[in-house]
Amino acid sequence: SASGSSHFACNRDRGLPNLVEMRGFLPILLVLEQCSSVDGARYALTDVARRANRPPAPMESPGAQARHVVTLKGFHNKQLNAAYAELSGAEVNGKPTFWSETDMFIYWCDKDHTWKVDDEGYWFAVSESGNCPAAAQQLRDSAGALPSGRAWQERQGAVWVELESAGVSSTERTCSSYDSDRHCSEAQEGCRWSSARGGCTAHWQLFGPEGPNFTDVRQGNLGTCYFLAVLASVAHRHPEVIADLFVNRGAWMPGGPALVDEQYPVYTVRFLLTGQPTLVAVDDMIPVGRTGQPVFVKYSGNGNVWPIVLEKAWAKVFGSFNGVEAGQGPEAFKAIAQAPVDVVRHWGAGASTEDVWSALLDAVEHNYPMYAASGHVSVVGIATSHAYAVLDAGWAKVNGTDTRTVRMYNPWSVNRYNGKVTDNDQRDGHFRMLLEEYVKAFWKTCIAKVRRGYRLSHKVLTKGATSIATRLELDVSSDRPFAVQLEWPSMRLSTRGGCDKLDPIVSMEVVKDGASVNTSQIQSRRGTDMSNVRADLPGASGTYVVNVRAEFPAAAWVDEAVLNTYASEAIAIRDAGPLPEQPLRFVVLAGFRNASLNGRYDERRSAPWRIGDRETYWAANGCYLYWCKRFDTWSAECGRFELNQKQPIWCSCQARAPAYADVGQVDTPKGFQEFNGTFWKTEPLAGIISNSNTAGASLLQERGDAPGAASASHERCKQVIRRLEALNNGEAIAAARFDALFPPNATSVAQPGEKCGDSARASRVSCSSYGKRWRSLFDVMGDMAR
């Protein structure tokens, strides 16, 4: 039609003509690749015109439609040095623009009388039109005459910088893209022509010739920086971990048992979810933008599509791409690295620059992947509320002086750092910054303690009437360090089902030869956003006994947890008898000005939790309470988890838990103190309002989650967990050439009315704009190869 829409009746495989509308130039490729011939499309157009009582428009033969391609060079941002093709449908003020395959674009600005090259995406071009009333002009035939020294500008952060030496290095008139035979270059190593699908393929490859690399990770228009920063970090330190995520490779690798021209690509990914390996199968259909290129993770070229596939698999786990926006590094590290994770906080009482530096150096020495989360205020150009991969830390020359520096990678693949280290390359997203700048700009560092050759062993623990109470044995033959972890469903999984935050009450004790290593929910979680507890063992052969107690008072629907080991060997985990099902003692506090202090506190008796050989009480959010003898009052704090660094000087080694008699009296003790950041202030109305010894209704019953009161919502929550077992549907995908659990339509992007985008870039739009166009990675790689 005159508006640029194209209507085709597509026979495809089933002999039933389907009328399809596609808008724009590249989407026509999708139709042609799915139909048996161009002649069939011509017939359909004629038939549609006849029924509309108007003469059919002439049908151009393949190759008849010409377009211009302009190649640019000389820009500081090397991604801008690329071929830009004229693209109808991506217009500014009614004028066409030129786009690269990675969503970079160029346009002419009458106001500034210069060519501009940008990488912010189509939405920026629209807003820029206010400064350029006639923003874009088509290059047309004059493209061939543009001098290479024409005053081009590129956007660097918030300003436009003129580059006198940048410009057009070559131009060409090409045949239209669907004339594919002319683009299957014999020079492409490993690329063969597939007549059945009509394009170039590199055998469904995932990795380029150099394997996984952190520069393969390029964030698009989805707020998954936490996930992509973790991918980049792991790829940098342990690329073999990335490669090992992909299993059942016969479905897509060269030489696979069923790899023929008509084979439908299926990728199977192994994540660690709820403490155990979980297989997730996906096909190669992905959401694309106006240029036909991926919108959520950008394709870096050279066959490196692994970040795109992994993000799609991650989205399938949680039901949609929107469902994986906004997260924390430990969540992704656990799923991908499948190793213990530590969190080092930069701010708050007890935090120090030296502690951060020591943790960074230890991670570098042991080759641990690292991740950093920025704060809400921008420092030295670091994007706020954004995640970066930490590549390295060490001494380096800065302005002629040896200085402590940290090397970073921004998953946006651009560098906007503007601090004191001035010799960074601004083009590709990785840069060095001073340690002091790093500590101020980022509020935490996450470290995945990946050890080469280590493996995971696991055992599912089933809940009894009200709790998990069991004793297990581990036979260890190695003397190398290992970790024992107890895992439960993550917050993202539980909230997906509309379920309550779990907040379990957990204690785990690991004993060998009478020596005990104790752990519990708070300290060993290393952070409130983690859904596991952990005990680190120094390593010694022998038999270990693990005593586990776990209650889920706020989530009666949780039926099981998983105990796993991360060790240099496979470890058999066997039952060694039940433990008595005794509820853990707790008190509930209220009356504090700091609302975080009002909550449930569980008794911690084991050695790591004692101060002055006395017990303490802890809440699920990291707050804790203790008795201060010097002032004869109770004190409560929130913040750091390192208990020995949180005590006021005047109460050092003076804290103890309430005696059992105290706990049994609802009205005692009163006169708690809370720390307001500067001094301790007495809150006379704060104190215990209920406890585990009262005769009244239990906390479980008060919340309406008592045993026997299961509801439809509980069943829905259970279904979220059971759904994980069905995600390994690779055979069904290959047979139907369609993924029924994650179809290529708007439902897999988001629910109606939801918004998608990167909050760190302040760009969020309706998700519906991303669910309309899907394309296969097969075709994306073919375009880039051409």
Three-state secondary structure string covering 7-37: EEEECCCCCCCEEEEEECCHHHHHHHHHCCC
Share of the chain above pLDDT 90, in %: 37
pLDDT over 90 (residue 487)? yes
Stretch 335-354: mean pLDDT:
91
Has 499 been annotated as catalytic?
no
> Which one is catalytic: 410, 532, 564, 691?
410
- Say whether pLDDT at 728 is over 70: yes
Q: What is the mean pLDDT of residues 231-249?
A: 95
Tokens of 454: 């280590």
Does 68 participate in catalysis according to the annotation?
no
Check 238, 346, 386, 430 and give the catalytic one: 386
Q: What is the pLDDT of residue 745?
A: 94
Residue 517 confidence (pLDDT):
62
Is the model's pLDDT at 321 over the cut of 90? yes
Would you tell me how many other CB atoms lie within 10 Å of the CB of residue 123?
A: 14
Please check the confidence at residue 165 and state whether its pLDDT lies above 50: yes
3-state DSSP assignment of residue 733:
helix
pLDDT for the residue numbered 543: 93
Residue 58's pLDDT band, with cuts at 50, 70 and 90, is very low
Q: How far is CA 598 from CA 506, 532, 584, 644, in A?
A: 20, 23, 19, 22
Reported as a single tens digit per residue, the pLDDT across 517-554 is 655 333 344 445 678 889 899 989 999 999 898 888 77
What pLDDT does 352 receive?
Answer: 93
Whole-number pLDDT of residue 267 = 94
Q: In the chain, what percentage of residues exceed pLDDT 70? A: 65
The span from the CA of 243 to the CA of 258, in Å, is: 21
Q: What is the mean pLDDT of residues 616-640?
A: 72
Nearest to 533 by CA among 720, 341, 332, 356: 341
What mean pLDDT comes out for the span 118-147? 45
353, exposed or middle or buried, with CB in 10 Å at 0-12, 13-18, 19+? middle
Structural domains of the chain, with CATH: 69-172 (no CATH), 214-337+728-785 (no CATH), 341-446 (3.90.70.10), 455-576 (2.60.120.380), 586-691 (no CATH)
Least confident of 524-533, 554-563, 586-595, 697-706: 697-706
Distances (CA, A) of 394 to 322, 382, 420, 431: 37, 20, 16, 13
Q: What is the pLDDT of residue 603?
A: 75
81 is catalytic: no
The pLDDT value recorded for residue 526 is: 45
217-235 tens-digit pLDDT: 999 999 999 999 999 999 9
Q: Is pLDDT of 659 > 80?
A: no
pLDDT value at 26 more than 80: no
Q: Is the peptide bond before 669 cis (omega within 30 degrees of 0)?
A: yes
pLDDT, tens digit (0-9, with 9 covering 90-100), for 716-727 = 888 889 999 999
Judge whether residue 164 has pLDDT over 60.
yes
Q: Could you tell me how many residues make up the chain?
A: 786
* Predicted pLDDT at 123: 40
Using 50, 70 and 90 to split pLDDT, how confident is the model at 692?
A: low
Structure token pair of residue 59: 């049908």
Distance, C-alpha 145 to centroid of its chain: 45
Among residues 132, 225, 651, 717, the one annotated as catalytic is 225
